[in-house]
Amino acid sequence: MSRRSGILEFAVLGLLRESPMHGYELRKRLNTSLGVFRAFSYGTLYPCLKTLVANGWLIEEPGHAPEDALAASLAGRRAKIVYRLTAEGKEHFEDLLSQTGPDSYEDEHFAARFAFFGQTSRDVRVRVLEGRRSRLEDRLDKMRVSFARTRERLDDYTLELQRHGMESVEREVRWLNELIESERAGRDLKGSGSGGPAQPSQQNNTSGASGNLPRAGDTPRPDTPDDTIT
């Protein structure tokens, strides 16, 4: 399994833990709530869902609205399939939530993990945040060394781009310090008490209805219906 497919499976299980959904609903939630998945396609989601069903972590059920089934029949299309998390799927997701290995600190995986911090125990949240901070501090040290070695040979625009990169990492480290301090003090972030994802500080260009993720600002892609997945 690739790292990205593993992150997608984790996010799908997490969203379906909140409520059953059909494929198009899942794609909208992944696009609008978890910005890391904005570029993925139905062709990526469909095999993921089939794998999770084959593993016994999801079950497929027909849609429950009679008018939807009738409309699909008249249009010559299949009724939408609703995906529901099984007991085994919930247990597997909870096991994934408890993991704090190096993968949980990487850029895309950390964003997905952070989106479900509202479902994660405090001690695990602290370990993941500390691991992420350590990873970024190492990255920042390397960036500073590289900047010092090459600044005399680079033009002003390239130097400014490198400064921007270092400042972005520095901002995230400061944000992580604030989060870790709050977690250690036993303070929940606003909006995280309802079981949904935690809400990070606005200084990190966050957006989205749930699981506001630490990422660079980007423009949402419009959701386009696609009949290849139900």
End-to-end C-alpha distance for the chain, whole angstroms: 23
Task: Label residues 103-140 b or e (16+ Cβ within 10 Å = b).
Answer: ebbbebbbbbbbbbbbbbeeebbbbbbbbbbebbeeeb
For residues 128 and 104, the answer to whether their CB atoms sit within 8 Å is yes
178: its two tokens = 């604030």
What integer pLDDT is reported at residue 216 of this predicted model? 36
For residues 60 and 35, the model is more confident at 60
For residues 38 and 140, the model is more confident at 140
CA distance 84 to 53: 9
Q: Is the pLDDT of residue 191 over 50?
A: no
2: its two tokens = 């690739």
Angle at 125 between CA 123 and CA 128, to 5 degrees: 110
Span 119-134, mean pLDDT?
96
Span 100-126, mean pLDDT?
91
pTM over 0.75: no
Contact residues for 82 (Cβ-Cβ < 8 A; gap 6+): 20, 21, 22, 60, 61, 62, 63, 64
For residues 90 and 17, the answer to whether their CB atoms sit within 8 Å is yes
SS3 69: helix
For residues 35 and 218, the answer to whether their CB atoms sit within 8 Å is yes
What integer pLDDT is reported at residue 65 of this predicted model? 54
74: its two tokens = 């008249």
14: its two tokens = 């997490």
pLDDT band per the 50, 70, 90 thresholds, residue 157: very high
What integer pLDDT is reported at residue 38 of this predicted model? 63
CA distance 52 to 159: 46
For residues 128 and 183, the answer to whether their CB atoms sit within 8 Å is no
What integer pLDDT is reported at residue 1 of this predicted model? 47
For residues 165 and 159, the answer to whether their CB atoms sit within 8 Å is no
Span 207-227, mean pLDDT?
39
Q: Name the one residue in this structure whose structure tokens are 């400042």.
A: 167
Q: Is the pLDDT of residue 120 over 80?
A: yes
For residues 74 and 103, the model is more confident at 103
What integer pLDDT is reported at residue 59 of this predicted model? 97
What letter represents residue 1's amino acid? M
Maximal C-alpha separation, the chain: 70
